Amino acid sequence: PSDFAVAVAKEPAACAVCGCVFPSAAALELHQRVHTGERPYTCPHCGKGFAQPNNLRVHLLIHTGERRYRCTLCGKSFISSSHLKRHRTVHTQEKPYSCSRCGQSFSQMCSVRRHRQQSQCEKPYSCGMCGKGFAWIRNLKTHQTHTGEKPFGCSICGKKFSQFWNLKIHRNIHTGERPYQCPICPERFSDPSNLKKHQRRHHPQTYDMSYMCRACGKAFSGLSNLEAHERVHTGEKPFRCDFCGKRFSEAGNLKKHQRVHTGEKPFRCDQCGKRFAWICNLRTHQQSATGCGQQAVGSLGLG
C-alpha cells in the first residue's frame, strides 16, 4: 500500500452506527462486528464463533482447563489476565470505572453499564409531550397519557384503553373470569387491584406486598422485585454478557452464565474435592455412584 493509504489507515475512525471513535480503521473494522453480528473465528471443539481472535484464544482455555494467571493474595487461578485483574478488585476494593454522568465508581465495567441502564443516569426514551425520560421503552409507553390515545379496544362493548393490560383486565367483566386468587383464602377476583384491596383489608398481618403485577396479579414487597418479575411477561433482557453478547432477564442468571467464560467453579464436593460451576452439577455428582453424598460447599474460604 502507498504511504498515503498507510497514513489514512492509522487515522482515528468513527463508527457510523454508534459514533464510537477508534484509533485506526482496523480497530473500527473489528468493532463493527458488534453491529453486524459477524463472528469469523470459530472454536474447533464446540463450534462457537467469536468476533475477535483474542476472544477465541481465551475461550479455548475453557476446553484445555489451563489457568496460568494466579492471584497472589488468595491463590485462585484464572484463564486470562483480564479475569485475574477483575478478580483482584475483590481484595483491593479498587473501583477504577466510573459513570461519566453521575461520577459513581464501580469495580467492573459491566457494573457501570448495568448502573446506567437501571438508574436515573441513562434515560434514552423521552416523552414528546412533557420531556420526561425513561430507561425502558415500556415505562415510556405506560407514562404516555398526554395524548389521550387509546389504541386497545374491547371487541364486545367498544370501550378503549391506553394499555393492553387494562383491556385484558376489562375483558374479565364480560367473560366472568376471575383469574386473580388470594393466596390466603379461596376468594378470587377479576381485577388485580381488587385482590390487593382484599388482602390489605382481610389479611393485614400477612400481607406486606405493596407492588402488584398488573399482568398476573402476583404481589411483591419491593419495586425492584416487581420489575424483575415483569420481564417474564415483556421478554425484556437488560443484562448482557460482555464476553459473548448473550442477554438475560436477571442479573443472577447472567452471573451464572459467565462461569462458562471465566471457568469459575464455586461449588466443591466436600467428599472428593471436585469442583463445579453450577450447584445442579454438584448435586448430580453427589447422587451418582461415586458415593459423594455430601452437601454443597461454596468456594469462599476454600482452596
- Decide if 102 is inside a domain: no
| Judgement on whether residues 294 and 222 belong to the same structural domain of the protein | no
Cell numbers at 259, concatenated: 462461569
| 8 A C-beta contact, residue 172 and residue 178 | yes
| Judgement on whether residues 279 and 235 belong to the same structural domain of the protein | no
SS3 121: coil
The whole-angstrom separation of Cα 233 and Cα 215 is: 7
What H or E segment, with its residue span, contains residue 223?
helix 223-234
| Judgement on whether residues 179 and 252 belong to the same structural domain of the protein | yes
- Decide if 158 is inside a domain: no
- Decide if 78 is inside a domain: no
| Judgement on whether residues 230 and 272 belong to the same structural domain of the protein | no
Q: Is the pLDDT of residue 7 over 70?
A: no
| Judgement on whether residues 215 and 274 belong to the same structural domain of the protein | no
CATH of the domain at 187: 3.30.160.60
Q: If you average pLDDT over residues 37-56, what whole number do you get?
A: 81
CA nearest to 226, candidates 242, 210, 202, 244: 210
- Decide if 117 is inside a domain: no
| Judgement on whether residues 170 and 194 belong to the same structural domain of the protein | yes
- Decide if 89 is inside a domain: no
pLDDT at residue 102, rounded to an integer? 58
Residue 133, burial from CB neighbour count under 10 angstroms (0-12, 13-18, 19+)? middle
Question: What mean pLDDT is reported for the chain?
Answer: 74
Domain count of the chain? 3
| Judgement on whether residues 224 and 174 belong to the same structural domain of the protein | yes
Q: If you average pLDDT over residues 283-297, what whole number do you get?
A: 63
**Residues 219-278 pLDDT 10s:** 776 667 777 787 777 777 777 887 777 888 788 888 888 888 888 888 888 888 888 888
Residue by residue, DSSP assigns 149-164 as: ---EE-TTT--EESSH
| Judgement on whether residues 176 and 235 belong to the same structural domain of the protein | yes
Phi, psi dihedral angles at 134 (to 5 degrees): -140, 145
- Decide if 83 is inside a domain: no
pTM over 0.85: no
- Decide if 272 is inside a domain: yes
pLDDT at residue 174, rounded to an integer? 93
pLDDT at residue 207, rounded to an integer? 56
| Judgement on whether residues 270 and 287 belong to the same structural domain of the protein | yes
pLDDT at residue 42, rounded to an integer? 85
| 8 A C-beta contact, residue 108 and residue 82 | no
| Judgement on whether residues 227 and 181 belong to the same structural domain of the protein | yes
pLDDT at residue 156, rounded to an integer? 92
| 8 A C-beta contact, residue 187 and residue 197 | no
| Judgement on whether residues 190 and 211 belong to the same structural domain of the protein | yes
Cell numbers at 116, concatenated: 446506567
Which structural domain range is residue 10 located in?
1-29
- Decide if 119 is inside a domain: no
